[in-house]
Amino acid sequence: MIGNIEFRESCKGLDWTELEALFVSAKLDHRRGPKQRRAFENSGRVCLAYDEGRLVGVCRAITDGEYHAFIYDVAVHPDWQGRGLGKALMRRLLSRLPVWRIMLVADEEVQGFYRRLGFALYGDVMALRDRSKLEEAEPLSDDVKAGR
Ligand SMILES: CC(C)(COP(=O)(O)OP(=O)(O)OC[C@H]1O[C@@H](n2cnc3c(N)ncnc32)[C@H](O)[C@@H]1OP(=O)(O)O)[C@@H](O)C(=O)NCCC(=O)NCCS
């Protein structure tokens, strides 16, 4: 299925431009530049998948380690999708979250993927949202703007 995939559980050595390119290929917006790097570095858990040194999948979670966790940024490169990699990444992440409630936000078209992992809709969730905070407070570097 997914062959010789290497899984890593740390951001150490992560090429942030490669991560950004993965999000672009997986069509996940608003994951750019230093803001994205800080978000990953500040996450309690990350799981990265490499195929022969190339970053092909990712997910991350923030957690208190005791009761709660929230999963974000689950992405598999399109050329690696449909081969069990997303499930493998999620299972590794879930195995490191020994908490009673794990939450995530999923568009309708991917809910089936999470249902297979045991997730279900959870009706009484509320959120406070401020889209202005999605953007980088500081300007993006020329490298990031150029996609390097
Ligand atoms: C969603 C995503 C992470 C799934 O990764 P993947 O590697 O293609 O998924 P897998 O091959 O591991 O699939 C695992 C199971 O989920 C099913 N599945 C995968 N994507 C699905 C979808 N969109 N809807 C319903 N079921 C899905 C598979 O058929 C498989 O089922 P099985 O275990 O019964 O065989 C990947 O498609 C992706 O990166 N999409 C773009 C980014 C995105 O939308 N991320 C989610 C943000 S909330």
Ligand 1 atom nearest to 80, measured from its CA: 7
Report residue 118 CA to chain centroid gap.
18
Residue corresponding to tokens 């997914």: 2
Q: Report the run of H or E that residue 22 belongs to, with start and end.
A: helix 16-25
Whether residue 147 is predicted with pLDDT greater than 80 in this model: the reply is: no
Give the chain's domains with CATH numbers.
5-145 (3.40.630.30)
User: In angstroms, rounded to a whole number, what is the distance separating the alpha carbons of residues 95 and 98?
Assistant: 7
**Res. 133 pLDDT band, cuts 50 70 90:** confident
Report residue 139 as tokens: 């300007």
Q: Of all protein residues, whose CA lies closest to atom 21 belonging to ligand 1?
A: 113
Q: Tell which residue, 42, 3, 27, has the closest CA to residue 77.
A: 27
Residues 18-48 have pLDDT tens digits of: 999 999 999 997 778 899 999 999 999 999 9
Cβ 148 under 6 angstroms from ligand 1: no
